């Protein structure tokens, strides 16, 4: 059986011709596309009135990139906080503010009644007449710890430890009727307070329980031989001597000869609170 084969040279020639046509077609289309693309880009540039010769050509990956807003650039920048004592009645911060540090203390709250607020107005008015600019306290409580610093991730363990420690502490009653003068550790403020008489022993035992939690976090425990009190008012600076010698007798006389009889402050100690930063945790005491 005979089979007819075409010449190999003719096949190669035909194949070369076809490839050349294809290559020419592809090259022509590519060049045409490039020319069209360049023409389109130039027209786009010229339509905005830009100088084509001076136009900077950006890399492809940067052409669609948008600028980062300033608000995002400054979002995580550390703020420099400057404390201005003039904005806080002359009060000075006990320790420097740092991000992530939470000022924390434990206390027994007291909600004032009308009789207490009237007496407070009389006390501050008398103190000012004696040349002592006494300011009202912003809130009323019995402090059961010093102000300590907690890191944010310590807050929940600290609160839980307190809750466990206070589980068996029973509620009790406190009474106060004698004034006393106090100052903070830095001697930047002086206070007039009502000193607790009845309930002092229970408060002492309570601070021992709280100190155990504070020691777990290696923080400063409460004062030795504390004088538990409710602050009525404060003034800037160390005015301890002036208040004790010139003001305290007259202020105490005001309480002793009150129109309804000697004033006595009564506090039902049925709830403890822990304030850390702007958070307040409550610990109800069982009966």
Question: Which residues are catalytic, by number?
Answer: 141, 229
Q: What is the CA radius of gyration of the chain?
A: 40
Determine contact, residues 127/94, Cβ cutoff 8 Å: no
Q: Is 117 left (phi over 0), alpha (psi -120 to 50) or beta?
A: alpha
Distance CA 269, CA 249 (A): 29
- Number of Cβ within a 10 Å radius of residue 210: 22
103 membership: H or E segment, kind and range: strand 101-109
Spatial distance between the Cα atoms of 237 and 183, rounded to a whole number of angstroms: 9
The contacts of residue 145 (CB under 8 Å, 6+ apart) are 104, 105, 106, 107, 207, 210, 211, 214, 221, 222
280 bridge partner residues: 275
d(CA 27, CA 47): 30
| CB 109 within 8 Å of CB 271 | yes
d(CA 155, CA 276): 8
Identify whether the C-beta of residue 214 lies closer than 8 Å to the C-beta of residue 145. Answer: yes
């Amino acid at each position: 059986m005979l089979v007819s084969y075409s010449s190999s040279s003719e096949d190669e020639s035909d194949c070369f011709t076809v490839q050349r046509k294809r290559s020419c077609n592809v090259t022509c289309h590519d060049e045409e596309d490039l020319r069209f693309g360049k023409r389109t880009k130039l027209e786009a540039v010229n339509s905005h009135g830009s100088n084509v010769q001076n136009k900077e050509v950006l890399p492809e990956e940067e052409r669609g990139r948008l600028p980062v807003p300033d608000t995002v650039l400054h979002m995580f920048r550390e703020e420099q906080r400057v404390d201005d004592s003039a904005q806080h009645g002359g009060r000075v911060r006990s320790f420097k503010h740092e991000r992530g540090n939470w000022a924390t203390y434990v206390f027994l709250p007291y909600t004032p009644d009308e009789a207490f607020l009237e007496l407070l107005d009389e006390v501050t008015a008398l103190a000012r007449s004696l040349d002592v600019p006494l300011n009202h306290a912003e809130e009323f409580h019995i402090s059961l710890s010093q102000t300590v610093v907690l890191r944010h991730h310590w807050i929940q363990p600290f609160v839980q430890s307190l809750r466990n420690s206070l589980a068996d502490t029973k509620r009790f009653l406190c009474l106060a009727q004698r004034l006393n003068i106090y100052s903070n550790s830095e001697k930047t403020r002086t206070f007039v307070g009502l000193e607790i008489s009845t309930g002092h022993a229970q408060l002492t035992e309570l601070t021992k329980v709280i100190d155990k939690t504070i020691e777990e976090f290696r923080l400063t425990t409460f004062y030795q031989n504390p004088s538990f009190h409710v602050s009525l008012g404060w003034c800037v600076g160390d005015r301890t001597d002036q208040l004790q010698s010139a003001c305290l007798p007259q202020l105490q006389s005001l309480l002793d000869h009150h129109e309804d009889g000697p004033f006595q402050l009564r506090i039902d100690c049925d709830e403890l609170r822990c304030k850390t930063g702007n958070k307040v945790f409550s610990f109800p005491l069982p009966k």
